[in-house]
A and B are shown apart, each in its own frame.
Chain A
Amino acid sequence: MKKILLLSIAIISITTAFAQKKLYSTTTGTTTFDAGTGVENISATNKSTTSVFDALSGQMQFKILNKGFEFWSQLMQDHFNENYMESEKFPKTMFSGNIVDIKKVNFSKDGNYPVTVKGTLDMHGVKKEIVTTGSLKIKGDQVVGTSSFTVALADYNIVIPGVVKDKLAKTVKIDVSCNYSLLKQ
């Protein structure tokens, strides 16, 4: 009887430990990209980036509705959604991965912690592994996560027409900034 009780406690403890999560989330993160070559300003911002990460395991995810990118020109916005991202067919861009060095981040001590993020970027129907660096700035219960990285359009089957090949960069610079709050569960 005692053995069964001890075994039950052990199983419950292990299950609880694995199920434990400390989630930080936002639905209003900012993602900007710059695809210009200097000939013309080809950049856009999306201020509705949904993101969450687990401070214990380092698991991290992002979700963006492509139609939320705002350009300075209506024509560029239309081309982006209709010709390049095909937003009707592929409405979302997603990322799922891990902050590989999450253990280095002390969430109970304010400060700026450099981190490395590794995972899969799912864009335009193509999933590809990426590795990037970023930082987590801790201030009380608030965490600001930032990262900059580049993606090659060809890797995601985004074809640049010959007419705009001088204006549009083959590699796009992406900046992500998220103000996370601790998710009450």
Chain B
Amino acid sequence: MKKWKKIAWGIFAIGMVSASVILYFATKKPATAEDSEPIAKFSTTEFIEKLNANQATVSATYMDKNIAVSGNVMEVNKDQCSLVLDAGNNAIITCTFDSAVFAKHAATFEKGKPTSIKGIYFGCDGFEKSDSTDMMDLLPQQKSAMMKTCSVNK
């Protein structure tokens, strides 16, 4: 009887641990740049140059990772909680923020002024021939890199 009791408790314990692990992964929030430190820092032009040189290498190294870029603010979009950084030569870096994080730093964002932003890099556009398809001929031929869940890099 004691043996069965032990087995039952064992199964229960394994069940509880498994349920906890599943619950942990099911409810785990995505990583944000606000909560972590960047693994690399660049100027906006440096980062665009890296993408120009080899987009695949940049993707392999920095995709879904926290990186920081420094450059001049080109646009501040308060309604959309986003910034556009000028990267020179018709290139931009788009940075989107969670509303609370944006509100915290909004006063420091000014068009034309330098800033340093950290964010999760999630892709780019305009660096490959396939990016300019006939279907999208109206869009300005602009090179852009994109970061999300951004924050100010101190």
Contact = CB atoms under 8 A, between A and B. Distances in A.
Interface of A: 21, 23, 25, 27-30, 47-48, 50, 52-54, 59-61, 63, 65, 67-68, 70-75, 77, 91-92, 94, 96, 120, 122, 179, 183
A60 B102 CA distance: 29
Contact of B82 (A28, A59, A65, A122): A28
B81 A47 contact: yes
Contacts of A23: 138, 140
B148 interface: yes
A120 B135 contact: yes
A69 B84 CA distance: 18
Which secondary structure dominates where chain A touches chain B? strand
Counting chain B residues whose Cβ lies within 8 A of the other chain, the interface size class is: 20 to 34
11 contacts: A27-B144, A28-B94, A29-B80, A48-B148, A50-B144, A53-B138, A73-B29, A73-B30, A74-B31, A94-B136, A120-B135
Contacts of A67: 63-64, 122-123
B123 A68 contact: yes
Nearest to B63: A67
A74 B29 CA distance: 5
A183 B135 CA distance: 20
A179 B140 CA distance: 16
B70 interface: no
Contacts of A91: 123
Contact of B148 (A30, A53, A68, A94): A68
A75 B26 contact: yes
B151 interface: no
Contacts of B146: 48, 65, 68
B108 interface: no
